[in-house]
Amino acid sequence: MATEHLSPALRAPASSRPYAKAHPGYGKRAAPDQRTPHANDFALMPERERYIAGYVDQLPDGAAMDIKSLAKSLPLYGQMAVSSALRALGVAGHLRRVRCLTGEGGQVRWVSRTYWSRTARDNEWWDAFLTGEDSRPAPEATSAPPSADTVPRAPAASEPLPVTPPPAAEPRRTPQPTAAAPAVSVPEQRAPAAASSAASPAYLALAQLGRTEPRLALSAADCQVLEPLAAAWFVRGVDSAYLTQALTAGIPAQVGSPIGFVRRRLTDKLPPHLPASSAPASTTAPTRRVVAECTECGRPGPPEALPDGLCRPCRTTASPAPSATATPPVERDVHALVSQLRDLTRVP
Task: Provide CB contacts within 8 A for 74, sequence distance 6+.
Answer: 12, 51, 52, 55, 82
Q: Compute the average pLDDT of residues 133-154.
A: 47
Q: Compute the average pLDDT of residues 8-19.
A: 53
The yes-or-no verdict on residue 157 having pLDDT over 90 is no
> Strand pairing partners for 29?
115
- What pLDDT is attached to residue 196? 47
Measured distance CA(63)–CA(12) in Å, rounded: 16
The yes-or-no verdict on residue 127 having pLDDT over 70 is yes
77-to-52, 69, 91, 103 alpha-carbon distances in Å: 9, 12, 20, 36
From 58, 90, 86, select the one nearest 71 (Cα to Cα): 86
- The residue that leads in pLDDT, 23 or 179, is 23
Q: Computed from CA positions of residues 45, 50, 56, 57, in that sequence, does the dihedral angle turn out positive or negative?
A: positive
Measured distance CA(309)–CA(294) in Å, rounded: 5
Measured distance CA(281)–CA(104) in Å, rounded: 13
pLDDT tens digit sequence for 258-268: 899 999 889 98
Measured distance CA(204)–CA(194) in Å, rounded: 13
Q: How many CB atoms lie within 10 A of CB 293?
A: 20
Highest mean pLDDT among 93-107, 162-176, 191-205: 93-107
The yes-or-no verdict on residue 11 having pLDDT over 60 is no
Measured distance CA(70)–CA(79) in Å, rounded: 8
- What pLDDT is attached to residue 255? 87
Q: Compute the average pLDDT of residues 118-123.
A: 91
Q: Compute the average pLDDT of residues 271-300.
A: 68
How far is C-alpha 35 from the geometric centre of its chain's CA atoms?
30
CA 32-37-38 angle, 5° bins:
140
- Hey, is 114 helix, strand or coil? strand
- What pLDDT is attached to residue 320? 52
- What pLDDT is attached to residue 194? 46
- Hey, is 293 helix, strand or coil? strand
pLDDT tens digit sequence for 138-148: 544 333 444 44
The yes-or-no verdict on residue 247 having pLDDT over 80 is yes
pLDDT tens digit sequence for 31-49: 988 888 888 888 888 999 9
From 151, 248, 236, select the one nearest 201 (Cα to Cα): 236
Out of 67-81, 107-121, 294-308, 324-338, pick the least confident. Answer: 324-338
- What pLDDT is attached to residue 82? 93
DSSP labels, 183-229: P--------HHHHHHHS-HHHHHHHTHHHH-GGG---HHHHHHHHHH
The yes-or-no verdict on residue 198 having pLDDT over 90 is no
**Average pLDDT of the chain to the nearest whole number:** 75
- The residue that leads in pLDDT, 141 or 188, is 188
Q: Computed from CA positions of residues 71, 77, 83, 89, in that sequence, does the dihedral angle turn out positive or negative?
A: negative
Out of 65-74, 213-222, 230-239, 318-327, pick the least confident. Answer: 318-327
pLDDT band at 59 (very low <50, low <70, confident <90, very high): very high
- The residue that leads in pLDDT, 131 or 62, is 62
- The residue that leads in pLDDT, 163 or 206, is 206
From 30, 50, 188, 210, select the one nearest 117 (Cα to Cα): 30
